[in-house]
Amino acid sequence: MSKREIVSTRNAPSAIGPYSQAVRGGGMLFLSGQLGIDPASDKLVKGIGEQTKQALENIKAILEAAGSSLDKVVKTTVLLKDMDNFNTMNKIYANYFPKDFPARCCVEVRKLPHKAEIEIEAIALCKEDV
């Protein structure tokens, strides 16, 4: 049986509910959805572009805290409040995943916590498994 380990970093926002930033188990790292909250101010940044960038920076920080990295991400899920923001999100997302893209699902949702425009979750390989 695989060991389950909680991953946490101050370089990403604290959980706003009963969940962990990430959990490592079975050679995989499962990241909870990240909003565009700046961990330094604990405030949601403004606009879809800045929120996308901050959510991905938060993911990057959690991955690094776990000894992983963006190039180890195998799957993301993007939740958009408005699918009209898809192109803006996609351009910024491509800067973080420029090649060998992870699998991805993107859906429009009615509402996100803190009235956010976007939430992104990720699944990655643990460093020792790649």
Catalytic center residues: 106
How far from 69 is each of 19, 31, 47, 82, 125, CA to CA, in Å? 21, 12, 26, 28, 9
E-strand stretches of 5-90: 5-7, 22-25, 28-34, 37-38, 43-44, 73-80
Radius of gyration of the chain from Cα atoms? Answer: 14
Partner residues linked to 106 by β-bridges = 78
